[in-house]
A = this chain, B = another copy of it.
């Protein structure tokens, strides 16, 4: 389970990057977990579906019907931004595609929880974060981080 995080509205180039990340995750047998809304979240889920993968959306609002059309399993938390903590807690690694303050909070929560975090399409100087230059590389780095960090131990 790999979290794809990013803004709910973004330019087409970022959306394409997110879709590629989704496709790569599905190709490697992973599940995409995201915030379930638009922008990067919808694009990543769309990419995963195109490649035959599964998608989980952790929604901030009260209704599963607010999920974008590419979410297989919507979870209605009704907890606003606190749902970011659930994404970081559930994902075994996070890939940030551009993004704003909400994404930054998820990156910080992920790092705090000991999860590997890879950033793509953004210039971030947060210690502990890995930078990637392509979707393929981002997913490969995320998978390596999961394997080497022994997520099973860290998460408990």
Identify the interface centre among A31, A92, A105, A126: most chain B CB within 10 Å of its CB.
A105
How many identical subunits does the complex contain? 4
Instruction: Tell me if A9 is interfacial: C-beta within 8 Å of chain B.
Output: no
* Residues A76 and B81 in contact in the complex (CB < 8 Å), given A101-B108, A155-B64: no
* Residues of chain B contacted by A111 (CB below 8 angstroms): 101
* Residues A80 and B90 in contact in the complex (CB < 8 Å), given A75-B58, A108-B102, A112-B100: no
How many of chain A's residues have a CB under 8 angstroms from any CB in B?
Answer: 43
* Residues of chain B contacted by A100 (CB below 8 angstroms): 112
* Residues of chain B contacted by A77 (CB below 8 angstroms): 86, 89-90
* Residue on B nearest A61 in the bound complex, by CB: B156
Contact surface of A with B, Cβ cutoff 8 Å: 1, 31, 54, 56, 58, 62-66, 73-82, 84-86, 88-90, 92, 100-102, 104-105, 108-109, 111-113, 125-126, 128, 152, 155-156
